[in-house]
Amino acid sequence: MLRTLVAVAAIALGVAVPAAAADRAIIILDGSGSMWAQIEGKARIEIARETLDRVLSGVPVELELGLMSYGHREKGACDDIEMLVEPAAGTGPAISAAAAAISPKGKTPISDAVRQAAEGLRYTEDKATVILITDGLETCEADPCALASELESQGLDFTTHVVGFGLTREEGEQVACLAENTGGRYIAAGDEATLAEALTTTVAEVAAPAEPEPAPQPEPAALAFNLDPDLVLAEGGNGGIAEFDVTWELYRAAAGGGSGERLSTDYGIDWKASVDPGDYVLRASVGYAHVEQPVTVAETGLAVPYFVMNAGQLIIRPLPADGAEPDSSAAVYSRFPNGEDDTSYGETRLFVPAGDTEVKVTIGAGEALLTVPVKAGERVSRDVVVGIGIARVNGYFVEGMKVEDSGVFVEVFAARKDIQGNRRSVGYSYGPDQSFSLPPGDYVLVTRLGAAEVETPFTAVSGEAVEVNALLGAGVMAVTAPGSDFVEIFSARTDIQGNRRSMGYGYGGALDLVLPAGDYVVVARPTDGSADREASGTVVAGERLELSIE
């Protein structure tokens, strides 16, 4: 089949196919982590293996072909380049077998791979062709365009064909120079059929005699940008996390190393820039994960720095109880492996550095602590059950007579006393209709209005709400004392020393005071300096007593 396709391609080129071709070529198959990306539900590496196997099944035995791959043995290594099959005649089955064993993992060192392939073909002494199949751009801080020009100038008859597998039009333009600068072809392949066509065409070029010198091509238009960083959350990809925000900070490189003056702050995964040639430091941030690296922008060509953020996504859902919805008032405090921290409220979504993140969730007086390990490229979601109950509290003068006064004071204490006999306060507030979020346990509600105060014990249960109604057993005494400037109310009952307890006082000849039900004595001090006047009265719970002292 390939013999026929080679012949057809050669005829289309206007040349004849020789009986025995002595040309030598090396196919470079991309083994970087992105080759696991899918096209119509099928991984790119699987499509490439199967297509390569079909195309090479009909390769003329006299055609000397080899196979090289990169990024297939380890993550993060720019020197992971291996000659899998040395170029020789009849290597089709060996190349198919070697391609089937490739397991994509790492980076995309296109330039070094092409250089090693050229040297393996002795490009300065013999005619040599490299066929590159790649689904990504250079990620090892090299300039493919400059390399192509160098190999073309030093080679005897050197050609690189580039098959851009799954690349966008814009990405394809960035690697096309490898082919254009060496007289080769750049062919875009978006699926299995177009990849087979591209491989057949480029192999046919190797088998056919050299084409006549092509007419000079116009110079490519100048790029609108010369800095185009690429970023992933983890080596090999983003682990299925589709959306995240990126902040780019560009600094001028300091003379002694490190970053100097900040030049710009920009946002978005697709950010590109046109900057003056020179040395810079570029810092990328995704949430609380940060990576910076030096970048050199040359007079010509495109700088494509590659950032691996070593970050994942952490989702915390604070629940007051099992089966409940997240509490929007819950405070979520997080401390990350890099020492930074964050405080958010309600359901929290953060991008964090890989490692252990310490989390504290509080809802009211309830608290939960946990440590969450997050791997690079991983999304981790945790439901954090704080386990609280709700106490809804109100004060009542008597049963059925609710206190609506905003001055009513309520405070919740743990029921258990410490060794000194004191209780621990867990929260307080003013006004009616207050709610407290509490861990399960026994508590005492202290309600105070005017001189009336009552303690009401209750129990909080996780996931339940309890109504705590404090019965003050109180009424109101309203005193008017014309001609007086000071009024004080005392309990009618005296203590063992014969003293009455003061319940409250006021100025201006009038006083309204909430008092527990009982008997009281009122003392008014006249403004003319004469002797104090007294009156007595009895307060009934739930009633108002008006008392006038003439």
Tell me which CATH code domain 474-548 carries.
2.60.40.1120
Amino acid letter for position 245: D
- Which residue, 40, 38, 99, is CA-closest to 68? 99
What are the residue ranges of CATH 2.60.40.1120 in the chain?
A: 389-471, 474-548
For the chain, residues classed under CATH 2.60.40.10 are: 311-385
Q: Which of 518, 524, 523, 510 is nearest to 492 (CA)?
A: 518
What pLDDT score was predicted for residue 220? 56
Q: Which residues in the chain show pLDDT less than 50?
A: 1-22, 210
What confidence score (pLDDT) does residue 212 get? 57
How many residues does this entry show for the chain?
A: 550
pLDDT single digits (tens) 349-393? 999 999 999 999 999 999 999 999 999 999 999 999 999 999 999
- Check residue 47 and report its DSSP letter: H
pTM above 0.75, yes or no: no
Looking at residue 66, what is its pLDDT? 95
Q: Which residue has the tokens 């196979």?
A: 67
Strand ranges in 268-340 using DSSP code E only, listed in sequence order: 278-286, 289-297, 306-308, 311-319, 331-335
What does the pLDDT read at residue 208? Answer: 59
Average pLDDT, the chain: 90
> What's the CATH class of domain 389-471?
mainly beta
Paired strand residues for 523: 488, 534
The pLDDT score that the predictor gives to residue 221 is: 56
Report the distance separating Cα 280 and Cα 317, nearest Å. 41
Long-range interactions of 173-177: CB distance < 8 A, separation 24+ = 174/137, 174/144, 174/228, 174/302, 174/304, 175/110, 175/134, 175/137, 175/138, 175/144, 177/144, 177/145, 177/148, 177/220
> How far is Cα 354 from Cα 424, in angstroms, rounded to an integer?
39
Burial (CB < 10 A; 0-12, 13-18, 19+), residue 32, is buried
- Where does CATH 3.40.50.410 sit in the chain? 2-207
End-to-end CA distance of the chain: 124
For residue 497, the tally of other CB atoms under 10 A from its CB is 5
Rounded CA-CA distance 252/258 in Å is 9
Cα separation, 309 vs 234, in Å, equals 6
Residues 148/132, Cβ–Cβ less than 8 Å: no
d(CA 37, CA 39): 7
- Measured distance CA(107)–CA(412) in Å, rounded: 60
CB atoms within 10 A of CB 396: 20
Q: What are the b/e assignments for 455-482, b being 16+ CB within 10 Å? A: ebebebebbeeeebbbebbbbbbebbbe
Looking at residue 5, what is its pLDDT?
A: 39
- Considering the domain delimited by 311-385, tell me its CATH architecture: Sandwich (2.60)
Rounded-to-integer distance, Cα 242 and Cα 240, Å: 6
Q: What are the backbone angles phi and psi of residue 3, rounded to the nearest 5°?
A: -60, -45
pLDDT value, residue 39: 86
**Whole-number pLDDT of residue 219:** 62
CATH fold of 2-207: Rossmann fold (3.40.50)
